[in-house]
Amino acid sequence: MNPVGGFRLGTVRAGIRYPDRRDLVVMELAPGGTAAAVFTRNRFRAAPVVVAERHLALQTPRYLLVNTGYANAGTGPRGETDAEACCRALAGAAGCAVEEVLPFSTGVIGEPLPVERIRAALPAAVAALSEDGWHAAAEGIQTTDTRIKLAGRRFDPGGGGACVVTGMAKGAGMIRPDMATMLAFVATDARVSAEVLDRILRTAVDRSFNRVTVDGDTSTNDACLLAATGAGPQVADAAAVERLQEAVDAVCVDLARAIAADGEGATRLVDVVVTGARETAEAERTAFTVAESPLVKTALAAADPNWGRILAAVGRAGIDDLDVAGVTIALDDLVIAEGGARADGYDEAAAARRLDRDEVVIRIDLGRGSAEATVWTCDLTAEYVRINAEYRT
């Protein structure tokens, strides 16, 4: 991972829910930097989401505070008080205003935050701050993830040397409210205004995290933050902004795909690519309907090229005037259904081979336009049910 000048990370074991586990991460953004963030759209919002949004509206953040173990969601009025107390403790240890700290929590819903344990561990986390802290931090934000999720790009904004974009995420199940759920932190050393940064983040999230689904459930704690330290070259003209957008998009897509691949119980990452739609929204809706169909997802687990289930999901995606005879379905490069029926020369064994892979591509052409969209998902296995049925007990 490329470190980002002006962005430091410190990770410690605070014993928040389990002993001897990296569970507390502090991140520091150099003075003069800018930041943008997006938060869950679920109406059931965790206390740290409410507090982070409030602080972000008041000040450019200097510190981000992430704890795992407890989500501080469904904790009633004391949830915000506890989140503020943690921010105040970090502000004291680091020497900044309380509004310059944004809190993020992930873990079990409904249990109060162990504020004392977090407070006690903060000085060590601040002392550990380092530009090389990405790997430890990517581990420190995990809950049920089976692997760390890091991604990076470099780009040249035009003349002033290279910029770096580095990001990390956690999430395994989009979304699992109990381990509430997706957090992503992306930093760049570009010098860029807060307004431009905000636009770039929203665009990137729409193209990445908002297009990944493991189970269709969204979380109370989802958050994605993009920080720009300004330690590197300026990004101001349209061409440079476009290059930054591309780099942030690429990092976010890498992280989003890593989340789908690490979906609870998943054995395969699945790209659902819909083309030939009249509008992007139509392509997106179709891709999501296929990607969230339990019948499609269980067939994928078995490497069963069940085109009937895919076609039936397309048929209920809400396109009122869809002519199913115009729809073509392919697995990677192999067409398996067209004209509302199995493709001529369909070879079940060849189709099954296209599915018996770690990464699978389902291509659906609606044959009615030129808009397209891709959604990332994973298969649905008995292991998903086991994880989610047994998690609390």
Cα–Cα distances in angstroms (integers) from residue 100 to residues 57, 95, 317, in the given order:
10, 10, 44
Nearer to a second copy, 238 or 389 (CB): 389
41 binds a second copy (CB under 8 A): yes
What sign does the CA torsion over 189, 210, 170, 356 have? Answer: negative
Amino acid at 157: P
Closest separation in Å from C-beta 130 to a second copy: 35
73 binds a second copy (CB under 8 A): yes
32 binds a second copy (CB under 8 A): no
What sign does the CA torsion over 329, 335, 339, 341 have? Answer: negative
384 binds a second copy (CB under 8 A): yes
Q: Give the DSSP letter of residue 191.
A: B
Binding mask 206-245 for a second copy (x = CB under 8 A): ---------xxxxxx-------------------------
Closest separation in Å from C-beta 312 to a second copy: 4
316 binds a second copy (CB under 8 A): yes
Task: Give the residue carrying structure tokens 């819903």.
Answer: 109
Binding window for a second copy (CB under 8 A); candidates: 95-103, 193-201, 231-239, 376-384: 376-384
Distance (Å, whole) CA 259 – CA 253: 10
Judge contact between 243 and 155, C-beta under 8 A.
Answer: yes
Can you tell me which of 2, 59, 144, 298 binds a second copy, judged by CB under 8 A?
298
Binding window for a second copy (CB under 8 A); candidates: 14-22, 53-61, 193-201, 314-322: 314-322
Amino acid at 342: R
Can you tell me which of 340, 350, 356, 370 binds a second copy, judged by CB under 8 A?
340
Judge contact between 138 and 148, C-beta under 8 A.
Answer: yes
Can you tell me which of 18, 31, 58, 76 binds a second copy, judged by CB under 8 A?
76
106 binds a second copy (CB under 8 A): no
Task: Give the residue carrying structure tokens 């069940």.
Answer: 306
Q: Based on the residue annotation, tell me whether 181 is a catalytic residue of this protein.
A: yes
Judge contact between 40 and 222, C-beta under 8 A.
Answer: yes
Of the candidates 178, 265, 261, the one whose C-alpha atom is nearest the C-alpha of residue 221 is 178
Total of residues contacting a second copy (CB under 8 A) = 62
259 binds a second copy (CB under 8 A): no
390 binds a second copy (CB under 8 A): yes
Distance (Å, whole) CA 163 – CA 276: 36
313 binds a second copy (CB under 8 A): yes
Q: Strand pairing partners for 188?
A: 165, 228
Distance (Å, whole) CA 25 – CA 347: 51
Binding mask 116-145 for a second copy (x = CB under 8 A): ------------------------------
Catalytic: which of 34, 75, 166, 181? Answer: 181
Distance (Å, whole) CA 387 – CA 378: 15
Tokens of 98: 């309380």
Amino acid at 197: L
Query: Applying CB under 8 A, which residues contact a second copy?
Result: 41-45, 73-76, 109-110, 175-178, 180, 215-220, 292-295, 298-299, 301-302, 304, 306-309, 311-316, 319-320, 322, 324, 337, 339-342, 380-382, 384-386, 388-393
Give catalytic residue positions.
181
